[in-house]
Structure 1
Amino acid sequence: MVNTGCPDTHNRIDLCCKMSAEFDFFLNTSKKWFCHFDDDNYVNVPQLVKFLSKKSWNKDYYFGKTSIPHEFEIRTPVTAPRLRFNFATGGAGFCISRALANKMTRYI
């Protein structure tokens, strides 16, 4: 268990705080996969481990459902080119490879 220091409410800012703390914790380990599941998800851990062991953590992988049916688009800063990506809140659970997680750090 990790004490995130984040408020215990479920508003967007506090949920982002919690996810950020989880992700930062993962980045400071040598683990190959980052998986997030809510407390109301059932996870068959042996099957998940078996599935992930057949995939290369050195490649960009995201396993999970996206939260919206189309790509999300932002500009950061406003004058920069548009960045398009699929968005997922993690409510249904997801796993990402170390390779993808490392690429994501440039956006945090």
Structure 2
Amino acid sequence: MTAPSHFDCSHVREILSRVGDKWTMQVIVALRERPHRFNDLKRQVGGISQQMLTRTLRVLERDGMVTRSVCPTTPPQVEYALTDFGRSLAEPVRNLAIWVQTHLATIHENRSRYDME
């Protein structure tokens, strides 16, 4: 396997930036267990505005990680779910969150030590 070129790295950086976004990670985690309707999802992702949730869901849908299903009811109900592709990202995101929780105290100690120098 050859090392990625600079061009390839820019694509990786773009996707990591999007996936690592505060709201994207929380939406993926919220959808990991089951599909949610918009307002339910908004409650699950505390602090997100309606506009930001809409924007985040559109980006995830465009990238093929989330599906949007409209139920034929009056008024129409919309449900969001992870695709298999999105679910494949949910596990690494979960592992990263576990790593952060495991090492958070060490990170804070290191920051304090650095800041005191």
TM-score, structure 1 as length reference? 0.26
Higher relative contact order (CA 8 A, sep 6+): 1
Larger Rg: 2
In terms of fraction of residues, the more helix-rich structure is 2
